[in-house]
Structure 1
Amino acid sequence: MNNNIKNDISSQIWNMKYRYHAKDGSPLDKTVEDTWRRVARGLSSFERDRDHWENEFLECLKDFKFLPGGRITANAGTGRKQVTMFNCYVLNKIEDSLEGIFATIHNAAMTQKQGGGIGMNFSTIRPKGAYIKGVQANASGPISYMRVFDATCKTIMSAGQRRGAQMGVLSCSHPDIEEFIDAKRDGKSLKMFNLSVAITNSFVEAVKEDKNWDLVFESKIYKTVRARDLWNKIMHSTYNYAEPGFILIDRINEMNNLSYCEDIRATNPCGEQPLPPFGACLLGSVNLTRFVKNPFENNAVIDFNSITKTVTTAVRMLDNTVDISNYPLTSQRDEALSKRRMGIGITGLADALIFMQIRYGTPESTKIAAEIMKTICHAAYRASIELAKEKGAFQLLDREKFVNSKFVSQLPEDIREGILKHGIRNSHLTSIAPTGTISLFAGNVSSGLEPVFALSYTRKVRVGDETETVEQEVCDYAYQKYREISGNTDSNSLPDYFATTDTVSPKEHVDMQAALQPFIDSSISKTINVPTDLPFDKFKDIYMYAYDSKLKGCTTFRPNEKMQGILVRKEEKKEEEKTKLDN
C-alpha cells in the first residue's frame, strides 16, 4: 500500500470508492498518486496546454490539499462514459398531474442510475382529499407520491456502489405540512429521503408575533393553524427524530446571484446547494489541515497565500469538469453549461483549529474561520474572472444585474469592477458540503465545518448494498498527529482546545455557521449535534436563533432510543454493550 494512506479506513475508502479498477476487478490505480494523476490528466484533457495543467492540477490534489467531490475522484480519467461527475441535482418543477409526477419519477430514476442524488419540492402537488374533477375522485396528496419516489430510489444502486440520496421539500404553507412533518415517524417510511420544510419570512414573523397561519393550495385555504403550534411541531419532531430540517427559502432567493433569471424551491440532499429546476452541484473542498504552519506550536499560523493558490487552480479544475462530465438528462446539461455553477468549500476546519490550539466555538475560532472563508471566496471570484477573460463568461450573465445582486454587491470593489469589465466564468463559486467520505479518504480529517465528532469512534461503513455494513474504529486526524508529536496517549489529559461535538453548545454551532455564511454564495450543510440529555426547553429555540443569525438553513441531530447515527463514540458503544449485558 502507498505511503500517503496510513490508516485502514482511509485505505478501505480509497479502494472501495475512488480507486480505478479494471472490469476483472484488478486495480489500475496502483497507488493513491496514480489516482491523483488520473484525475489531473482527465480534467486537463480539454486544455490547450495539457501537460502544464495536468501538472498544476496534480500539485493541487497531492497530499489531499484539495478534495474534489467523490464523483470526480472516482470517474475523472476513466473509461466510464455513462456516469456523472456531479454529486447532486434538483429535479424539475413537479406538474400536478399523474403524467407530470411520473415524468419526474423517470427523471429521478435516470439521474440516480448515473450516481446523482436529487432534491425535489412537492409543494406543487395538490393536498390529500382535494377534489380532482377529471376523474371525480379525491387526491392522495404529495406524501403518497413521495413513497413511489422512495421505492424507486431503493431499487436503483447508483454507479460505484453509491446508494441514491433524496431531499424532499414541502412549503410551510402547504395543507399537508403536518403529515409531512410526521412522515418518517414509523422508522420505515421514506428511508431514502431527507426532509426539509421550506420556511418563509412571513411564517417566521407569524411565529414571532403569535399569529394564525393559513395552509393554502392554489389560493384556497384548507386549514388555519396557530403559527407557533406548527413551529413547535417542527421543533418536537427534529428533537426526537432529527427531521425535518429547515430551508429558509426566501433568504435563499434574496441572496441568489441569479435571482434575476431563476427561482429556487429545493436543495440537493444535504442542503449545501440550493438549485433551480434541473440544477446540478459540482463540489470540492480545501483541506485546511494542509495549510497550518507549525502545528501545535505557539507560532502556528494559516498559510493564506497557499490557500489562494490552491483555490485559483481548483476553480479551473472544477470548471473543466462542467464540460467533461456526462449528464443523466439533457436539461441538466443545458442548465449546467449555461451557468457553470460550482461550490468550493472547506474540510478539516476543526482539526486546523486544534493545530492552532484554538477551541472550536470560541470567538477566536469564528474569527479565524471567517478569515479563511473570505480568502477562499475572494480567490475563487478573482480566478473565475480571469477564466472569463480566457474562455468567456457563463451564458446567462447579465453583468449589471449580477453585480447588483445582494451577495456580489458586498464583494470587494476590484471583483465587482472585474465582473463588469470582463464578465465571470461561473455563476456561483462557494459552498460547504458535509465531506464525510472524502474526509475519511484524506486520513479522517474533521468533516466540513463540523467540530471533531470524537477523538476516536466507531463508524459504520457500507460495503455492499444498503444492508451490508462493517464497523471501523477511527481516530481523528489532529488527535493522531498530537499523539505522534507529544507522545501523550491519555485522552483524559488533553488541552482544552480538543473540543468535540458533544462539548460544543448549540449556540456555538450556529455561531460558526453564521461566521462563514457571508462568504458562501450557495449554502452550508451543517448538522447541529446536541447531547441526548439536552432538555427540549434549551433545544427549541435553535432554529429561531439560526434564522436571526441570517443562515439559509440547518439541521439538528440528538441521538436517542429512536435515532442512531452512522458514527458511534467509544463510550456510547461501551454503554450500549453494558446495557445489553444487564438485560
Structure 2
Amino acid sequence: MNAPEPPSDALPAQEVSLDVLREKYARGDERTIEDVQRRIARALAALEPAPQRADHERRFLWAQQQGFVPAGRIASSAGLGLSATLINCFVQPVGDSISGASFGLPGIYTALSEAAETMRRGGGVGYDFSAIRPLDSKVAGTASRASGPVSYMEVFDASCRTVESAGARRGAQMGVLHIDHPDIERFIAAKDTGRLTNFNISVGVSDAFMRAVEADEAFALVHAAEPGDETLAAGGRRREDGLWVYRTVRARELWERIMVSTYDHAEPGVLFVDRMNAENNLWYAEELRATNPCGEQPLPPYGCCDLGSLNLTAFVHDAFTPEAHLDFERMRDVATTAVRMLDLVLDATQWPLPQQAAEARAKRRIGLGFLGLGSALAMLGLRYDADEGRAVAARIASALRDAAYAASIELAREKGAFPLFDADNYLRGQFIERLPQPLRDGIRAHGIRNSHLLSIAPTGTISLAFADNASNGIEPPYSWTYQRRKRTADGGTRSYEVADHAWRLYRQQHGDAALPPSFVTALEMRALDHLRMVEAVQPFIDTAISKTVNVPEDYPYDDFRDLYLEAWRAGLKGLATYRPNAVLGSVLSTTPVASPAMTAAAPPSPDDDPLRKRFEHRPLGELESSTSKIEYSTQEGRKTVYLTVSFLRAEGIWEGRQVTVERPFEFFMPANQRTGGHQWITASMRLLSMVARAGGPIARALADMREVVWEKGPVRCGHIVREDGVRVPVYHDSEVAAIAFMLQRMLIRRGFLDQQGNQVPVGELARRFERRTQDGAPDPQLQPGEAPAEPLPIMNGAKCPECGALALRKVDGCSRCESCHYVGECG
C-alpha cells in the first residue's frame, strides 16, 4: 500500500463543507471527514475474510484520503445498522394492469407500492411508463376508457411527495415515455402547468425516429392496446406486428415540440435508447428502457446504481505552474481499491425489494466515475472548452476505464465472475470490443466480477462535504464563488462565502491577481463545447454521463434547437439542458405570454386552469411570493416560523372590461422548522394551497382554522392597532389558529381580504391591484400604525427545504436554491 501523500497546498475547510458534512453525513459523535471515512472503511472491510480485514480497512481508508469519494447513500448510512439502502438510485418496472402483472411487468399499483418502499429506504427511482395504455383506449375487462400514463404519473408524484415528508432526503424520480407512444404530446407538456414536481422527465427516442426527423418523414404513434372508437373512426388500424397505429405525425413537428419545451422548461430531457442498448455490455441478457433520476445509469427493471467518484483535484501536482500535471499512477491505484469497495457495497446494503437484490447479485453493476473535472482542468492551466482540455479529460476517462476493468478481472479471479457472465457474448459487446487486447484476454481467461464499472454522476453535496467544493461531476463550475444564506437557531439568517476549490487554491498562491484564462465557467462557453466534452469522454464510460448543457437566458433558440440532434449524431446516450428563464423550475408554472419559440406547444386544457371558475383570464408573468417571519408564544416557549404565500396575477374580462387581479396560489411553511407540529403544518399548507388553486373560499378556510382549539392553553401571536394607536396583543385558542391569524394578516395587507378577513369581490380586487401597482400609491389595506411592506422579490422556483423560498432549481443534476444557495442531495 502506498503511503498517503500530503497535499502540497493545504487549505482550511470551508464552513459550507463542514455544514454539509455534519448535516448529511456525519452521525453520532462524528465530527470530521476522517471520522466518516473510517466508518465506511470499517463497514466494508467487515465483509472481507477475517485474517485480511485489518489490511483492507487500512487500504479503504487510504483510498478515501487519496481522493475516492463514495456516493451519498454510502457516506450517510454505511456501518450504522440502518434499514436504509446504500444504493442511490433504481429503475422500477411498471406494467399496464391496475394490479397483478402483465407481460412480466407489475401492475400500476403494485409498482407504486414497490417504488414507495424503495424511496422510503432512501433510493431514487426511474420508470418507463410506456406500457400503460393511452388516454381513451379501450379497457375490455371493465368496458371503460383508459386515463393514460400521465394521469398515473400524478399518482406516483403524490406518493413520492408523501414518502419524502417522512425523511430528510428529498424524493427523486425519473419518468420516461417512448417517442412512439400515442400520449407523447401530453407527456411533453405534462410539467407546463406545474404538475409532476417530484419528477424529472425524459423522452426515449429511437434511431428510427431521429432518421425520420432528418428526412422530415411521417412517424406512427403506436401501442399494443386497442384504441377507442373515435380513434378507430379517425383511421386507427392494427399493423401486421400486432400493434395499433393511433395516428401519424410529422416527426420534425413532434421533435420541435420537444425542443420548445426543453428550451422553455429544461424538460423533457432526451434518452437515445438504441444507443444505450447497442453499447450495453449485457446486450444479450437485458433491454434498457429507462435511467435513474439523473440519467447517468441506464438500467433494466429492478436495476441499481452503486456509485462512487474520484476527486480529480486530489491528483493534480504543481497546480497553476508550468509543471502542473495529473498523477495518473496514483489515480489508477485509488481506482483499483475503489472498485473493490463498490463491489462490497452490493453485499453490505439493505435491499428495499428482493427483486433488486436478485438483479444486483446476478450482474453486480457498479458505477465508478470522477468529480472535479472543471476545477482540475483550471489547476492544470487548461480550458474546459478547448481541445486540450477535452484531450486530457479523455485521457483521464481512458485511464479510469482500464484501471477499473483490470481491478474487476482480478476480483473475478479471487471471488468469481458475475453469475450472468457469458464470455463469448460479453466479449462481443460494442464497448468491450474497444477495450485494449490485454483486458479482453483477461476477461476471456478469468471472467469479470462486475458487468458494468463506470458512470459519471452529479456530485453536488459530496463535492461540498468531501472535496472542498470541487466542481460537480463532469461539469465546469457554474460560478467560482457565491454567497450562501443559512437560517440560524434564533430564526435569523447569516451569509458566508462558498468558493470553488481551484479558485481558493489560486487565491492562496496568487492573492488578488487576475484569474488566468483556464478559469472558465459554464455560462462563459458555447453550448456546443459542453456537448463536445461529453463526446470526448463517453467512449470510455460503459454506462452513461449525467451532463447538463448550461446556456444563458438570452441564448438564441435557433442555436439551441440543434443541440440534441447534434448529440445524437455524436453518438451520445442522452442530454439535458438548463436555460435560466422566468418560468423554469416553477412548482406552480403559469402559461407565459406566447412567444415565437412557444407556438408549437400544445395549448393547456381549460380543465387544467381552476381559476376559470372565477372569470375568464390568462395568467401573467411569474408568481410573486411574500414571506413573513412570525414569532409567537405558547406554554412550550417562544417559537419562530416563516410563512410564505405565493400570488398569481391574472388578466381577463370582468363585467365587460379587461382587468388584472391578484390572488393567492400557494401557501408554504417549511416543515423542518421543528415546531413540534410539522405534520399538521405540512397538511394545512397543502390543503390551503389546494383550495387556492381550485378558486375556493380562502377566507372561509382561514376562518375555520381560527376556530381550532387545543388543550395547551392560549397562544399569543401578533397584535391589532386600535383607533387611538394602542397596540393590543392577540391571543388564540391553538397554534393552528395563530398561524391562520397571521396568514389572514398577510392577505389583508396584500389587499385580497378586507379588514374583517372576508373575501374582496373581483371588481374591487382589480381596483386595488391597479392602485397598488401605481407608483407612489399607498397600500389601501394598511392599518393605523402599520408600515408599508417592503418590495416583494419575485421567486418562481421549487420550494427550498432550507429557507422555504420558491427558488429551488435543478442545475447540473442537483437541486440548488437561488435564495440561500442550499444544495440538495444529488442523484
When normalised by structure 1's length, the TM-score is 0.92
Give the letter for the 1:371 counterpart. R
The answer on 1:504 being equivalent to 2:528 is no
Aligned-partner SS, 2:336? helix
Residues 62-88 of structure 1: CA deviation (Å, up to 9, x unaligned):
15x0111100011111121x1100000
Residues of 2 paired with 1:514 and 1:472: CA distance? 37
Residues 217-269 of structure 1: CA deviation (Å, up to 9, x unaligned):
11111121110000010000000000000000011011100010011110000
Aligned-partner SS, 1:277? coil
1:565 positional shift: 2.8
Residues of 1 paired with 2:575 and 2:493: CA distance? 28
The answer on 1:565 being equivalent to 2:809 is yes
Task: Verify the 8 A CA contact 1:115 1:159 in the aligned structure 2.
Answer: no
Aligned-partner SS, 1:236? helix
The answer on 1:42 being equivalent to 2:43 is yes
The answer on 1:58 being equivalent to 2:61 is yes
Q: How does 1:308-347 map to 2 (within 5 A)?
A: 308-347=332-371
Give the letter for the 2:480 counterpart. L
Give the letter for the 2:186 counterpart. E
1:53 positional shift: 0.3
Question: Which of these residues, 136, 147, 160, is aligned with residue 140 of structure 1?
Answer: 147
The answer on 1:200 being equivalent to 2:206 is yes
* Pair 461,402 (structure 1): closer, same or farther in 2 beyond 3 Å: farther
Residues of 2 paired with 1:264 and 1:62: CA distance? 36
The answer on 1:32 being equivalent to 2:33 is yes
Give the letter for the 2:321 counterpart. E
Question: Which of these residues, 186, 190, 193, is aligned with residue 183 of structure 1?
Answer: 190
Aligned-partner SS, 2:270? strand
Question: 5+ unaligned residues in a row in structure 2: which ranges?
Answer: 1-9, 101-106, 225-242, 585-807, 821-827
The answer on 1:118 being equivalent to 2:125 is yes
Give the letter for the 1:300 counterpart. A
Aligned to 1:520: 541
Give the letter for the 1:212 counterpart. A
Q: How does 1:354-433 map to 2 (within 5 A)?
A: 354-433=378-457
The answer on 1:211 being equivalent to 2:217 is yes
Q: Which has the higher contact order (CA 8 A, sep 6+)?
A: 1
1:118 positional shift: 0.2
The answer on 1:536 being equivalent to 2:543 is no
* Pair 459,521 (structure 1): closer, same or farther in 2 beyond 3 Å: farther
Residues of 2 paired with 1:438 and 1:227: CA distance? 41
Residues 80-132 of structure 1: CA deviation (Å, up to 9, x unaligned):
1x110000000024243354100000000000000000000000000001011
1:496 positional shift: 1.5
Give the letter for the 1:112 counterpart. M
Aligned to 2:134: 127
1:475 positional shift: 1.1
Residues 436-490 of structure 1: CA deviation (Å, up to 9, x unaligned):
11111121100011011101124688999xxx9997642111011111110126x
Aligned to 2:237: none
Task: Verify the 8 A CA contact 1:127 1:174 in the aligned structure 2.
Answer: yes
Aligned to 2:472: 447
Task: Verify the 8 A CA contact 1:5 1:11 in the aligned structure 2.
Answer: no
Residues of 2 paired with 1:56 and 1:426: CA distance? 21
Aligned to 1:24: none
Question: Which of these residues, 236, 244, 247, is aligned with residue 268 of structure 2?
Answer: 244
Task: Verify the 8 A CA contact 2:220 2:248 in the aligned structure 1.
Answer: yes
What is the RMSD computed on CA atoms of the aligned residues?
2.2
1:301 positional shift: 0.7
Residues of 2 paired with 1:98 and 1:423: CA distance? 40
Aligned-partner SS, 1:156? helix
Aligned-partner SS, 2:13? coil
Task: Verify the 8 A CA contact 1:4 1:32 in the aligned structure 2.
Answer: no
Question: Which of these residues, 570, 573, 576, is aligned with residue 555 of structure 1?
Answer: 576
Aligned-partner SS, 2:430? coil
Residues of 2 paired with 1:472 and 1:415: CA distance? 49
1:8 positional shift: 1.4
Residues of 2 paired with 1:154 and 1:346: CA distance? 31
Aligned-partner SS, 2:576? strand
* Pair 259,480 (structure 1): closer, same or farther in 2 beyond 3 Å: same
Residues 277-318 of structure 1: CA deviation (Å, up to 9, x unaligned):
000100000100001110000110111001100000000000
Aligned to 1:9: 16
* Pair 392,460 (structure 1): closer, same or farther in 2 beyond 3 Å: farther
State, as a whole percentage, how many aligned pairs show the same letter. Answer: 47
Give the letter for the 1:358 counterpart. L
Aligned to 1:68: 70
Aligned to 2:605: none
Task: Verify the 8 A CA contact 1:43 1:324 in the aligned structure 2.
Answer: yes
Give the letter for the 2:217 counterpart. K
Q: How does 1:211-290 map to 2 (within 5 A)?
A: 211-218=217-224, 219-290=243-314
Question: 5+ unaligned residues in a row in structure 1: which ranges?
Answer: 22-27, 577-583
Aligned-partner SS, 1:565? strand
Give the letter for the 1:209 counterpart. A
Aligned to 2:460: 436
Residues 129-170 of structure 1: CA deviation (Å, up to 9, x unaligned):
101111111100000000000000001138861111000000
Deviates more, 1:28-37 or 1:522-531: 28-37
Residues 169-189 of structure 1: CA deviation (Å, up to 9, x unaligned):
0000000000000000112x1
Count of equivalent residues? 555
Task: Verify the 8 A CA contact 1:109 1:153 in the aligned structure 2.
Answer: yes
Q: How does 1:130-169 map to 2 (within 5 A)?
A: 130-157=137-164, 161-169=168-176
The answer on 1:108 being equivalent to 2:115 is yes
* Pair 460,385 (structure 1): closer, same or farther in 2 beyond 3 Å: farther
Task: Verify the 8 A CA contact 1:264 1:275 in the aligned structure 2.
Answer: yes
Aligned-partner SS, 1:208? helix
Residues of 2 paired with 1:414 and 1:541: CA distance? 40
* Pair 129,567 (structure 1): closer, same or farther in 2 beyond 3 Å: closer
Aligned-partner SS, 2:402? helix
Residues 416-453 of structure 1: CA deviation (Å, up to 9, x unaligned):
11011000000000000011111111211000110111
1:9 positional shift: 1.1
Residues of 1 paired with 2:810 and 2:149: CA distance? 29
* Pair 45,131 (structure 1): closer, same or farther in 2 beyond 3 Å: same
Aligned to 1:579: none
Aligned to 2:738: none
Task: Verify the 8 A CA contact 1:291 1:306 in the aligned structure 2.
Answer: yes
* Pair 171,458 (structure 1): closer, same or farther in 2 beyond 3 Å: farther
Residues of 2 paired with 1:475 and 1:308: CA distance? 28
Aligned-partner SS, 2:389? helix
Aligned to 1:85: 86
